[in-house]
Structure 1
């Protein structure tokens, strides 16, 4: 880990885990897009720079704010609708890296594999990233619970791809 002229300040975390949903991969896929996450992630409000931007198109850019009001810029790097998507994400003066979501059909639903590859850009962010890494499995379990709660409540679903 190296920083700017001041030397080492950050850390890198490569995190992978998975969970299952009672949906086909095609039905579940859009839940992991910028607009799809609005349905089940509290406080998730993507702000697009281009009116009517396609949140599956490679190169599409949007921003979100986290619970600490930090601005995060997202860019679609790769997308195979119904199968997987990879995003670049840069939280200003905090972390930068990629998020990958891959889906496979299994009996009774789909398996969702999620990988975060993040580098902290400050000492404070490094400590925060270490906490995130320690709780990564629980974090993805919360994703699953939130999606299942959304489904159980009859929440809207995006069109399958």
Structure 2
């Protein structure tokens, strides 16, 4: 089995101060189809370290925890799908002209052989995965 650290950059035509929200639990609702985070405890600020939410997809439930933030520059989440995979997702925003260069890094460890194979497929498709984010964001912001 193999830990995978995957990183890619996309451009968002908003400065970091405006783009940051798009990469939060609630902000992704605006542009990610089917993204419905559930907060087991009320979370007035969904970027506060320690904030927890759950997502469900493909018959998996994932627990997310905000581990660090530096608004509007970075936010890091622990992402644990019990019995499948665990790791972090970090989003870093840097001003680029009137917009932002957004670096999205997944650092994931598989917990089973089947998860290792699925994570390998995800790694091979990661560039197109991030391109799909760019396309969804472009459509949302148009």
TM-score by structure 2 length? 0.96
Once the 2 structures are TM-superposed, how far is the Cα of residue 136 of structure 1 from its aligned partner?
A: 0.6
Whole-angstrom distance in 1 between the partners of 2:33 and 2:59:
14
1:133-148 mapped onto 2 (5 Å cutoff): 133-148=123-138
Whole-angstrom distance in 2 between the partners of 1:116 and 1:81:
19
Partner of 1:159: none
Partner of 2:76: 86
Whole-angstrom distance in 1 between the partners of 2:59 and 2:108:
19
User: How big is each residue's C-alpha offset from its partner over 1:113-143, in whole Å with a ceiling of 9 and x where there is no partner?
Assistant: 0100000101111110000000111100100
Contact 2:47 2:66 in 1 (8 A): yes
Structure 2 gaps of 5+ residues are: none
**Rg: which structure is higher?**
1
Partner of 1:6: none
Q: In the alignment, does 2:91 pair up with 1:72?
A: no
The match for 2:33 among 30, 42, 47 is 42
Whole-angstrom distance in 2 between the partners of 1:14 and 1:150:
28
Structure 1 gaps of 5+ residues are: 1-9, 153-161
TM-score by structure 1 length? 0.85
Q: Which structure shows the higher strand fraction?
A: 2
Contact 2:43 2:51 in 1 (8 A): no
**Number of aligned residue pairs:** 142
User: How big is each residue's C-alpha offset from its partner over 1:45-100, in whole Å with a ceiling of 9 and x where there is no partner?
Assistant: 1110112442110000110012x120000000001111110000001211100000
1:1-161 mapped onto 2 (5 Å cutoff): 10-66=1-57, 68-152=58-142
Contact 2:55 2:63 in 1 (8 A): yes
Contact 1:11 1:121 in 2 (8 A): no
Whole-angstrom distance in 2 between the partners of 1:52 and 1:136:
30
